[in-house]
């Protein structure tokens, strides 16, 4: 049984992705915890309902669309951190930096408290509500950098092509051999196509993949390409013929080949900087930014080596709160990138030169001496003060100097938050400037589209004129004029709560504490549990003597209740209430009088936490194996947290912080946003301080010394949104760098994959329905047969195609005739199993008994005694006997037993069951084996293999293999006495499993 429910990202403009897979036995798998730029908490309501029943979570890409809500769910959804999460290492590390950038740059990401939730608590404070409207912009406390590091340390890393049997969550049913395998999807570093095997269900989940190779990312692993593997013409075995394929339907409107795409972007940049303008390229924080940064850096290296004055006098910047961490992670993950990146790094590390034509390329070789991500010209900026200084230099040059070109890559692509919004406001009024959109923005909220979406709509309208430009290869592209149109730019800020708003927030917080305390185990409301240490509450018990168990049970319950209430109400417990637990709860107490005590009062209190183990032993804690840079990030975050804690009042020391708890005393305080003990916005290996980026007469460390003067609001806060209107005179261009599959790739690959069920998600209504119609035409034709071949029954290569709506559950189970039966012990002893691709196969002949009927081959002690003088009793053994024992009467499944002697003899006389040949013969594997044995084998036409010029092997429909021979080579004695025909037949049989009768 397999059912699929899209929680987000089905037939809608929003690109957020959340999918729920429910398998046999109640196993639920959540794939992706995505969000969109609206950061609307109502989008997560359906997910919150399923959290207590989830078995595991899989993540595909390090983008907001695929894991943007992960940290929010970990902080605000009980039990979410106890669910095992799996992803590749790049998705974990880049997702962490993306989340840190998101919460540091966008106050809206913390989300506001719904009015309905506040209304439940405001009745207790009439003086706060006062009949007035409740506040609607109170913010939840966002995850701190330290919490984000801890959340992502819970994710278990996997490698590509590594089958793994995950462990379920503590509240999940058994997984029954479920196996997950990650494959490269392209599009982003560590992006994943998931293969899920559970019983007869083989599910391939492929959302946002790219078959084409790029500068940094290898193509998707459908055909086996990338990372050193040879590209074939057939889909690799694990991804072929799945019972269900979940595929995204979102495709670019006009995808260009990589070379033409890169040329169009560079030509647009060149034309703008040649006239002294500033180019803004909005990028994300972790995924596609690597492709753009690599392309521009290497373009600058090449052009500067050619003494191109336009590029030599132009500054190149990458701005984002966490771009330094992103690039550090990228340098340590070169093995996840395309093979060309690995070869470039090896050439640099070995002191070699990348040659492109011998001695004539010596000039270009000097520009490539640095590593792939050791930036010589790309300057990293992580603070707003640095952005302001760069914009000041670009827009207001000194007197007597002409303006110099500037290229800025800034986060985020939506232009609603991050440094990209600040840059846009500064350059919008100058017609020399240019903004290049690199992907189609989504429309999460039609009433409030993002800034990027508005600019993209203007680019499509072309209302105020178009400038048609041409590349060196002859391709034309368009740049649309802004025309002075007004653009409303929202500015979201955090303001501290005061007066009645603070009172309402505190009451709401107290109510939430009480609710969460009942859901979290052991009163550890603020504790995070690593996936290797998730323990059932039932295992955390203390031992009591049997003689006083009944007497002490009520007292223990009262003490536990008192402690729980005191923890929530901040009540100080007396020593008598604490009892023996005073040794753990109270500091400075090391002795306890056990005289005249019974049961647990005589035992030292010890909480035993049993480690979860599997067949390989105790589970590994991921936080014990953090890399050096991860430990530094964690140490910095902990130091910052300790600095904040030092300002808290004395009476809050030693108390656990629960569910956004913030001391009232720090409610209205502010703290400088300057970062203590920074390691610098740029790594030592960047070379930015000594490269051309700092050779314009201005010291390279001048920007490093700039610090933000803004003050960050700590404690309870509300969201204040101010609108600013700017006049847009700059040019708008669009070059598709989304890195998604196009319709041509889908039309080519889906027939090769041959799925039984096809589920289309992740696209608009129009895109999804259009692709579904194309797939019906592709998969609805019958396979062709050779001319002159005898007519035979064939299966139609067809698939059920589903286009579900949001929260619509579809049944995509495999169509097989499968039943569950009970096997008797005597029947199992006669089975001879054959293993085929991890599955056990056997043919059986037996007697099927309905539920509630006793097997004929039961042990003698369980059979009813027979009358010694009755001859009919022996014949009665061939008839079913109703069960009378309570154990067997509860059987709800039919039973398969051995045949009685009379029926067994008749079956043997009739010929019994013929042996079966099971398996999928691949002509490529057959050819490889024959070549290794010394035969000549070559393909002649599609699906035909010619061996030694005398034997032809063909594959036809319905799994049929035909072998034809003209008689040559049959009597040859070489090859160990086998002729060509016999050798081919033997190779075919060796590739199949012979399943005999049982």
The mean pLDDT of 896-900, rounded to a whole number, is 83
Spell out the long-range contacts of 253-258 with Cβ–Cβ below 8 A and sequence spacing 24 or more.
253/440, 253/736, 254/736, 255/736, 255/740, 255/742, 256/736, 257/212, 258/212, 258/213, 258/214, 258/215
Per-residue model confidence as pLDDT tens digits over 121-149: 655 455 444 445 666 788 999 999 999 99
Which residues are CB-contacts of 455 (< 8 A; sequence separation ≥ 6)? 415, 435, 437, 487, 728, 732
Q: What is the pLDDT of residue 272?
A: 93
Give the integer Cα–Cα distance in Å for 699 and 697: 6
Q: Is the pLDDT of residue 480 over 70?
A: yes
**Residue of 889, 955, 969, 882 whose CA lies nearest to 925:** 955
If one counts every other C-beta atom within 10 angstroms of the C-beta of residue 482, the result is: 22
Identity of the highest mean pLDDT range in 22-36, 131-145, 830-844: 22-36
Q: What is the pLDDT of residue 670?
A: 44
Q: Is the pLDDT of residue 477 over 60?
A: yes
Confirm if 31 and 21 have CB atoms less than 8 A apart.
yes
Distance of CA 456 to the CA centre of its chain: 28
Q: What is the pLDDT of residue 838?
A: 62
| % of the chain at pLDDT higher than 70 | 72
Q: What is the pLDDT of residue 948?
A: 85
Which residue spans within 731-792 are E strands per DSSP?
Answer: 731-734, 757-761
- To the nearest 10°, report the CA torsion of 818, 822, 827, 829: 100
Q: What is the pLDDT of residue 777?
A: 86
Q: Is the pLDDT of residue 693 over 50?
A: no
Give the integer Cα–Cα distance in Å for 897 and 900: 9
Identity of the highest mean pLDDT range in 210-214, 560-564, 691-695: 210-214
If one counts every other C-beta atom within 10 angstroms of the C-beta of residue 4, the result is: 24
Backbone φ and ψ for 492, nearest 5 degrees, come out as -95, 130
Q: Is the pLDDT of residue 861 over 60?
A: no
Specify the range with the lowest mean pLDDT, choosing from 339-348, 396-405, 885-894, 960-969.
885-894
Which residues are CB-contacts of 257 (< 8 A; sequence separation ≥ 6)? 212
Q: Confidence band (pLDDT; 50, 70, 90) for 613?
A: confident
Q: What is the pLDDT of residue 231?
A: 60
Q: What is the pLDDT of residue 179?
A: 95
Q: Is the pLDDT of residue 263 over 90?
A: yes
Q: Is the pLDDT of residue 192 over 70?
A: yes
DSSP string, 366-398: HTT-S-TT--SSEEEE-SHHHHHHHHHHHHSPP
Q: Is the pLDDT of residue 732 over 80?
A: yes
Identity of the highest mean pLDDT range in 89-98, 300-309, 439-448: 89-98
Q: Is the pLDDT of residue 995 over 50?
A: yes
What does pTM read for this prediction?
A: 0.72
Q: What is the pLDDT of residue 575?
A: 74
Give the integer Cα–Cα distance in Å for 437 and 409: 11
Specify the range with the lowest mean pLDDT, choosing from 330-339, 593-602, 815-824, 902-911.
902-911
Task: Specify the 3-state DSSP secondary structure of 899.
Answer: coil
Give the integer Cα–Cα distance in Å for 112 and 88: 32
Q: What is the pLDDT of residue 918?
A: 72
Q: Is the pLDDT of residue 788 over 50?
A: no
Q: Is the pLDDT of residue 218 over 50?
A: yes
Identity of the highest mean pLDDT range in 334-343, 640-649, 952-961: 334-343
Buried b (16+ CB within 10 A) or exposed e, 224-244: bbbbebeeeeebbebbbebbb
- To the nearest 10°, report the CA torsion of 933, 161, 286, 333: -60
Which residue spans within 729-846 are E strands per DSSP?
Answer: 731-734, 757-761, 800-802, 810-811, 822-823, 834-836, 839-841
Q: Is the pLDDT of residue 157 over 70?
A: yes
Give CA separation, 902 vs 825, 877, 899, 905, in Å.
20, 10, 8, 6
Mean pLDDT of the chain: 77
SS in 3 state form for 925-936?
HHHHHHHHCCCC
Q: Is the pLDDT of residue 168 over 90?
A: yes
Backbone φ and ψ for 377, nearest 5 degrees, come out as -120, -20
Q: What is the pLDDT of residue 781?
A: 40
List beta partners, residue 203. Answer: 196, 244
The mean pLDDT of 757-780, rounded to a whole number, is 90
Q: Confidence band (pLDDT; 50, 70, 90) for 888?
A: very low
Give the integer Cα–Cα distance in Å for 939 and 313: 58
The end-to-end CA distance of the chain, in Å, is 28
Which residues are CB-contacts of 798 (< 8 A; sequence separation ≥ 6)? 779, 780
Confirm if 250 and 767 have CB atoms less than 8 A apart.
yes
Q: Is the pLDDT of residue 576 over 60?
A: yes
Give CA separation, 465 vs 278, 468, 729, 730, in Å.
20, 10, 12, 12
Q: What is the pLDDT of residue 971?
A: 46
Task: Specify the 3-state DSSP secondary structure of 684.
Answer: helix
Identity of the highest mean pLDDT range in 12-16, 277-281, 517-521, 622-626: 277-281
Q: What is the pLDDT of residue 642?
A: 59
- Domains of the chain with bracketed CATH: 258-337+372-484+677-707+729-734 (3.40.50.10890), 822-913 (no CATH), 917-995 (3.30.310)
Confirm if 297 and 380 have CB atoms less than 8 A apart.
no
Specify the range with the lowest mean pLDDT, choosing from 422-426, 861-865, 919-923.
861-865
Give the integer Cα–Cα distance in Å for 99 and 889: 57
| % of the chain at pLDDT higher than 90 | 37
Higher pLDDT, 924 or 938: 938
The mean pLDDT of 636-653, rounded to a whole number, is 55
The mean pLDDT of 278-302, rounded to a whole number, is 94
Q: What is the pLDDT of residue 336?
A: 94
Q: Greatest CA span in the chain, whole angstroms?
A: 127
**Helix, strand, coil in percent for the chain, rounding step 5:** 35, 20, 45
Distance of CA 463 to the CA centre of its chain: 40
Higher pLDDT, 133 or 460: 460
**Residue of 893, 854, 894 whose CA lies nearest to 877:** 854
Q: What is the pLDDT of residue 741?
A: 92
Per-residue model confidence as pLDDT tens digits over 845-854: 888 888 877 7
Per-residue model confidence as pLDDT tens digits over 229-238: 456 678 898 9
């Amino acid at each position: 049984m397999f059912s699929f429910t899209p929680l987000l990202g089905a037939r809608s403009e929003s690109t957020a992705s959340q999918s729920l897979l429910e398998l046999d036995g109640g196993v639920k798998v959540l794939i992706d915890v995505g969000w969109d730029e609206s950061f609307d908490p109502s989008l997560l309501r359906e997910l919150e309902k399923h959290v207590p029943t989830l078995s595991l979570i899989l993540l595909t890409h390090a983008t907001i669309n695929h894991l943007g809500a992960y940290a929010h769910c970990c902080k605000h959804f009980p039990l979410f951190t106890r669910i095992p999460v799996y992803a590749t290492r790049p998705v974990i590390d880049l997702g962490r930096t993306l989340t840190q950038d998101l919460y540091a740059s966008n106050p809206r990401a913390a989300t506001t408290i719904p009015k309905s939730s506040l209304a439940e608590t405001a009745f207790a404070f009439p003086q706060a509500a006062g009949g007035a409207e409740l506040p609607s912009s109170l913010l939840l406390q966002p995850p701190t950098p330290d919490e984000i590091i801890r959340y992502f340390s819970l994710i278990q890393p996997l490698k590509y092509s590594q089958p793994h049997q995950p462990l379920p969550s503590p509240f999940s049913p058994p997984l029954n051999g479920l196996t997950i395998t990650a494959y490269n999807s392209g599009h982003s570093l560590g992006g994943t196509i998931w293969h899920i095997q559970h019983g007869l269900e083989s599910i391939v989940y492929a959302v946002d993949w790219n078959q084409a190779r790029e500068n940094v990312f290898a193509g998707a692993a459908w055909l086996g390409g990338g990372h050193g593997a040879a590209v074939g013409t057939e889909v690799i075995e694990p991804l072929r013929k799945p019972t269900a394929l979940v595929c995204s339907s979102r495709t670019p409107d006009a995808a260009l080949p990589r070379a033409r795409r890169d040329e169009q972007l560079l030509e647009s940049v060149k034309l703008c900087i040649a006239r002294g303008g500033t180019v803004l390229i909005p990028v994300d924080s972790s995924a596609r930014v690597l492709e753009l940064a690599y392309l521009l850096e290497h373009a600058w290296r090449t052009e500067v080596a050619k003494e191109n004055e336009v590029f030599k006098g132009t500054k190149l910047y990458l701005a984002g709160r966490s771009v330094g961490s992103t690039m550090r992670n990228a340098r340590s993950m070169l093995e996840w990138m395309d093979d060309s990146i690995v070869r470039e790094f090896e050439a640099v590390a070995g002191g070699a030169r990348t040659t492109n034509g011998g001695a004539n390329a010596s000039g270009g070789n000097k520009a490539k001496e640095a590593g792939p991500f050791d930036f010589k010209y790309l300057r990293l900026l992580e603070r707003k003060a640095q952005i302001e200084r760069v914009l000041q230099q670009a827009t207001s040059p000194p007197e007597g100097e002409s303006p110099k070109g500037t290229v800025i890559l800034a986060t985020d692509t939506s232009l609603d938050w991050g440094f990209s919004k600040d840059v846009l406001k500064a350059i919008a009024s100058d017609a020399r400037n240019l903004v290049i959109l690199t992907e189609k923005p989504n429309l999460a909220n039609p009433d409030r589209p993002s800034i990027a979406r508005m600019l993209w709509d203007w680019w499509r309208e072309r209302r105020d004129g178009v400038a048609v430009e041409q590349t060196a290869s002859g391709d034309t592209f368009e740049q649309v004029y802004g025309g002075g149109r007004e653009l409303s730019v929202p500015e979201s800020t955090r303001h501290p709560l005061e007066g009645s708003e603070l009172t309402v927030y505190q009451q709401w917080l107290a109510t939430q504490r009480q609710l969460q305390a009942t859901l979290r185990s052991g009163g550890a409301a603020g504790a995070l549990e690593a996936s290797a240490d998730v323990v059932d509450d039932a295992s955390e018990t203390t031992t009591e003597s049997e003689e006083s168990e009944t007497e002490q049970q009520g007292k223990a319950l009262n003490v536990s209740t008192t402690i729980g209430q005191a923890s929530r109400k901040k009540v100080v417990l007396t020593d008598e209430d604490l009892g023996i637990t005073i040794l753990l709860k109270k500091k400075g107490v090391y002795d306890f009088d056990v005289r005249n005590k019974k049961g647990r009062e005589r035992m030292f209190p010890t909480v035993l936490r049993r480690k979860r183990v599997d067949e390989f032993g105790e589970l590994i804690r991921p936080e014990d194996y953090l890399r050096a840079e991860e430990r530094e990030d964690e140490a910095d975050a902990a130091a910052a947290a300790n600095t904040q804690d030092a300002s808290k009042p004395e009476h809050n020391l030693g108390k656990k912080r629960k569910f956004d708890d913030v001391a009232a005393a720090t409610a209205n305080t502010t703290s400088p946003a300057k970062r203590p003990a920074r390691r610098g916005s740029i790594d030592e290996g960047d070379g930015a301080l000594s490269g051309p980026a700092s050779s314009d007469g201005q010291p390279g460390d001048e920007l490093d010394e700039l610090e933000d003067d803004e003050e960050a609001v700590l404690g309870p806060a509300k969201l204040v949104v101010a609108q600013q209107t700017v006049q847009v005179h700059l040019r708008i261009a669009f070059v598709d760098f989304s890195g998604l599959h196009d319709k041509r790739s889908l039309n080519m690959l889906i027939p090769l994959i041959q799925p039984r069920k096809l589920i289309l998600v992740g696209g608009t209504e129009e895109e999804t329905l259009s692709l579904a119609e194309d797939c019906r035409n592709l998969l609805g034709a019958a396979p062709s047969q050779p001319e002159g071949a005898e007519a035979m029954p064939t299966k139609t290569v067809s698939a059920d195609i589903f286009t579900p709506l949001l929260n619509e559950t579809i049944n995509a189970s495999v169509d097989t005739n499968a039943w569950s039966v009970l096997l008797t012990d005597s029947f199992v002893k006669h089975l001879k199993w054959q293993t085929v691709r991890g599955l056990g196969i056997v043919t059986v002949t037996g007697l099927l008994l309905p539920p509630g009927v006793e097997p004929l081959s039961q042990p003698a002690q369980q059979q009813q005694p027979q009358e010694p003088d009755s001859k009919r009793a022996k014949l009665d053994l061939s008839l079913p006997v109703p069960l009378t024992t309570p154990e067997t009467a509860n059987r709800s499944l039919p039973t398969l037993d051995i045949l009685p002697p009379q029926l067994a003899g008749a079956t043997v006389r009739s010929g019994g069951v013929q042996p079966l040949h099971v398996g999928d013969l691949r002509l490529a594997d057959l050819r490889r084996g024959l070549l290794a044995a010394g035969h000549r084998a070559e393909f002649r036409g599609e699906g035909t293999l010619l061996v030694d010029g005398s034997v032809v092997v063909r594959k036809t429909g319905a799994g049929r293999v035909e072998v034809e021979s003209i008689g040559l080579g049959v009597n040859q004695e070489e090859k160990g006495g086998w002729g060509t025909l016999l050798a081919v037949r033997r190779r075919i049989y060796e590739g199949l499993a012979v399943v005999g009768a049982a």
